[in-house]
Structure 1
């Protein structure tokens, strides 16, 4: 007996068994039982009766893709999906198109809201078929059915999956990509009965950016341009006509929240709060002074900001949707290391990343070892470009820099002078990238921190060591302090390696709900935007 028949039988037994007790329990109990039965009946009808009563023949697929050749890439997906359904319609019941079909049609009609400049294939044909849905022949219904399913796969691929992995690898995104089963997702849509209620397989940032995309598209493209009066910074207490423009622009961008505050030409406390909010959102020093850097950010054309949002929505399509447990994430343009547990942010730490000529690689790994008082094994590129020329100029170069030959290579001895500081954190990878301490502490005070040869320097290495080794009772704070200052290299295995993701996002929504932007320090936004436009 098919499992749906068992389910129907079970429902009937439940109804019969409850009949006597229901009569005693009163109207509320009856209503409760009736609701359960109605819900069960609706599910059975939606998944077995109505959607299995309308079918098409298997050879209809071939003729469909002959006509809709641009969608042929999804032929295998459709064949698999409909073979499992025995070629039953998915978007129709006996009374016509389902609610799910209407929701899908609306999502297809609003592709620009998904941050994609796409032309929907066969849009006019779909419009005509949907508008004539109430008077369709069976042949027209089968054409609408197959077109909706094909365009569902089109939507899922473009909106939920994004660019192909081969394309993202060409722009040096080496993070693992999520894997999607479009057929499984479609089953989920049909069972839940409403695409708006389906938990979409995209990282949480995607929908947060999507909301801001709507807001920024509503901002006039030719919005206020601001200049510095006399090329001098605008400070609290100043008075100038440019301050009115400053207020209007900050209001348009959401930093100044009251429209009534846009007419004053005096820099007061209300404007100070708005300026500092803008500075925080852009990674600038929150000093409240409207100098050249802030004005430059304010004058970035709105269409460029919209493009940046769209590019970062695309990056979010590639991420795993649900990372569990402890993990670390470095956002290169933000110059910050974040620690998470599930989706809860635990703490942040400033970092220094690679210069443009020594780009930090975008990839993932797991921290498996902590090395106290490390040697710095000088990379071959640095040995060739810096160390050997230094030795030629000064025979005492190695001794002066606390270095020594190690076979054919050069290494720097442990100590406060060491370029890796007093501790490093290893996650095995082919890029020779790791986290480490540094003696150059002042660099962490800079708002833009791209100074390294590619590895990632952390502002508080002692705290990071304590966090990573916190499950190892042998490694107390006192022992960590001694190991860092010992001058003797010591490797410590991490009992439970911690995943670390090295990412690249130039726009995101923070925990306060504010949209953040950062400079595209490696010029990767333009590369990705070009790929999206080609697609």
Structure 2
């Protein structure tokens, strides 16, 4: 995707709020509509004398065994509150308890397809027509379990151990259910949106999720009818019924602001096609191939599931990593690198990443040095699997490729044909992955760019070095160019290390336009996460 903004700035905060009294008001209970659309202020009121103890909590989880996984968190919440009630004002459930119940009923809007255990029992608590309700103690502990269920699914998502199993090695969240509860009780509007708990991209995806579900509900995602055996590429000024169908789809998703319903591939539609291709990271031209139509015909249910999966990934982002003065972010599926400094884009560059056999790892690090005109120390795996065969077939192979033996290993000497190009950016990591230039510039012309052995090849590597060193008086552009002449390896140790995040997001909402982009699931990680999250549902195809 070109000329698009893809901001990936994390938001840092701490919860420093003290425990507050429980919410109460003399007005009638606020309606569902007022909660979702208006600001809510709950007045403080002292708590009742009602309390629970360890024995009651243990008994409760024996009675409700499906909630057992929340027992330790529930115990911790009551210890911090000296076992006083969380959900009762005098003899009735607080308004905040009602608000939380409403949010649990709307989990689908959060992209979550999970159901609260014993939800039917909780429903009875809030059903005025039901006369026989759970005891006051059971009600209290059911609501506390409901809170932990909600907070764990919405604010943190999958646990750290699970994320490592699926190859997500970015830092994970460490949240306090007690502090989150304090902040929510103080300001219930945070149940609707809280950028201190969830990165703002999450809420942008949530808005698009609502839009796509409306499209699905109204049956607006109509299949484009083509005969795959006779279809010819569509080009500007072509005329056919298919053009009218494509135009309607572009209008439904927002690539066209109006639908003239013409069957001619005119200038208006040309602009819509370019916008569509930009959002999908496709080569920006006006030709519509059979593959493009097949992509448009992917069921909207799959697009909805993709949005939900990436909302889950947003839950994993720890807010403490936010607002760095400087950061580099690489999104593998979009094949793009973003260098951000002081909240502004200094550089956006195309990249290519690892193949399916040598996938680029999802992790974070700290760039501590830039190496100009680098040697390439060939990994032993490449020596064993590739070089030995080539050397055996051609005794001059090393010399012809500017390589040499060095202490029992092979390295490629600096120069314009070096596989690392003329500059590399190092961040110590056990995977031996780094950013670097490349002599294979033609590979950036491909839409799907999975060519490397795992490292990240940067099209604008020289400009990235210039941008990073812009404020360093010891490294002028002229000095950088001289160091990149390919004559001698030169290392620049950075005065301040730069965080780098290598991520995997297959969809993203543009911060400025609100348009959603979809990228290829190059390593099939969406399918893997889909199976993990929705094993009881239909798996994506």
Using the size of structure 1 for normalisation, the TM-score is 0.87
Across the two proteins, how many residue pairs are aligned to each other? 490
> Which of 126, 145, 166 is the matching residue for 2:161?
166
> Which of 258, 262, 265 is the matching residue for 1:264?
262
Equivalent residue, structure 2, for 1:25: none
Q: Is contact 1:236–1:288 with CA below 8 Å preserved after alignment?
A: yes
Q: Is contact 2:212–2:304 with CA below 8 Å preserved after alignment?
A: yes
Equivalent residue, structure 2, for 1:190: 185
Q: Is contact 1:104–1:152 with CA below 8 Å preserved after alignment?
A: yes
Equivalent residue, structure 2, for 1:62: 58
Q: For residues 488 and 199 of structure 1, do their structure 2 counterparts lie closer, same or farther at Cα, with a shift above 3 Å needed?
A: closer
> Which of 271, 278, 281 is the matching residue for 1:280?
278
* SS of aligned partner of 1:117: coil
What are the Cα deviations for residues 467-519 of structure 1, in whole angstroms up to 9, with x where unaligned?
Answer: 22233211111110101105101111111010000111111112321111011
> Which of 116, 139, 147 is the matching residue for 1:152?
147
What are the Cα deviations for residues 332-356 of structure 1, in whole angstroms up to 9, with x where unaligned?
Answer: 1101001224655443111111111
Q: Is contact 1:336–1:348 with CA below 8 Å preserved after alignment?
A: yes
* SS of aligned partner of 1:451: strand
Q: How does 1:194-343 map to 2 (within 5 A)?
A: 194=189, 195-196=191-192, 198-199=194-195, 201-220=197-216, 223-227=222-226, 230-258=230-258, 260-261=259-260, 263-321=261-319, 322-341=322-341
Q: For residues 223 and 112 of structure 1, do their structure 2 counterparts lie closer, same or farther at Cα, with a shift above 3 Å needed?
A: same
Q: Is contact 1:365–1:501 with CA below 8 Å preserved after alignment?
A: yes
Separation in 2, partners of 1:190, 1:55: 18
Higher helix share: 1
Equivalent residue, structure 2, for 1:417: 417
Equivalent residue, structure 1, for 2:69: 73
Q: How does 1:15-54 map to 2 (within 5 A)?
A: 46=44, 49-54=45-50
Equivalent residue, structure 2, for 1:13: none
* SS of aligned partner of 1:496: strand
Equivalent residue, structure 2, for 1:97: 93
Using the size of structure 2 for normalisation, the TM-score is 0.86
Instruction: Identify the range of structure 1 (340-349 vs 77-86) with the bigger mean alpha-carbon deviation.
Output: 340-349
Post-superposition offset of 1:185:
0.6
* SS of aligned partner of 1:479: helix
Instruction: Identify the range of structure 1 (407-416 vs 218-227) with the bigger mean alpha-carbon deviation.
Output: 218-227
Instruction: Identify the range of structure 1 (493-502 vs 112-121) with the bigger mean alpha-carbon deviation.
Output: 112-121
Equivalent residue, structure 2, for 1:534: 535
Separation in 1, partners of 2:405, 2:193: 64
Q: Is contact 2:48–2:88 with CA below 8 Å preserved after alignment?
A: no
- 1:132 and 2:134 matched: no
Separation in 1, partners of 2:198, 2:141: 25
Q: Is contact 2:378–2:412 with CA below 8 Å preserved after alignment?
A: yes
Q: Is contact 1:96–1:134 with CA below 8 Å preserved after alignment?
A: no
Separation in 2, partners of 1:313, 1:465: 33
What are the Cα deviations for residues 223-255 of structure 1, in whole angstroms up to 9, with x where unaligned?
Answer: 223427842111111110111111122223222
Equivalent residue, structure 2, for 1:362: 362
Which runs of 5 or more residues in structure 2 are unaligned? 1-19, 22-40, 537-541
Q: Is contact 1:160–1:201 with CA below 8 Å preserved after alignment?
A: yes
Q: Is contact 2:77–2:177 with CA below 8 Å preserved after alignment?
A: no
Q: For residues 193 and 113 of structure 1, do their structure 2 counterparts lie closer, same or farther at Cα, with a shift above 3 Å needed?
A: closer
Separation in 1, partners of 2:252, 2:136: 47
Q: Is contact 2:193–2:203 with CA below 8 Å preserved after alignment?
A: no
Q: For residues 283 and 228 of structure 1, do their structure 2 counterparts lie closer, same or farther at Cα, with a shift above 3 Å needed?
A: farther
Q: Is contact 1:325–1:342 with CA below 8 Å preserved after alignment?
A: yes
Q: Is contact 1:228–1:234 with CA below 8 Å preserved after alignment?
A: no
Q: Is contact 2:347–2:467 with CA below 8 Å preserved after alignment?
A: no
Separation in 1, partners of 2:131, 2:136: 9
Separation in 2, partners of 1:247, 1:95: 60
What are the Cα deviations for residues 140-184 of structure 1, in whole angstroms up to 9, with x where unaligned?
Answer: 333222211111101111121111211111121111112111111
Separation in 2, partners of 1:491, 1:518: 35
What are the Cα deviations for residues 16-52 of structure 1, in whole angstroms up to 9, with x where unaligned?
Answer: xxxxxxxxxxxxxxxxxxxxxxxxxx98x62xx4324
Equivalent residue, structure 2, for 1:480: 480
* SS of aligned partner of 1:239: coil
Q: Is contact 1:228–1:242 with CA below 8 Å preserved after alignment?
A: no
Instruction: Identify the range of structure 1 (184-193 vs 238-247) with the bigger mean alpha-carbon deviation.
Output: 184-193
Separation in 2, partners of 1:312, 1:437: 30
- 1:176 and 2:176 matched: no
Q: How does 1:383-398 map to 2 (within 5 A)?
A: 383-398=383-398
Post-superposition offset of 1:135:
7.5
Post-superposition offset of 1:412:
0.6
CA root-mean-square deviation: 2.3
Separation in 2, partners of 1:345, 1:109: 40
Separation in 2, partners of 1:149, 1:488: 64
Separation in 2, partners of 1:133, 1:72: 29
Q: Is contact 1:216–1:306 with CA below 8 Å preserved after alignment?
A: yes
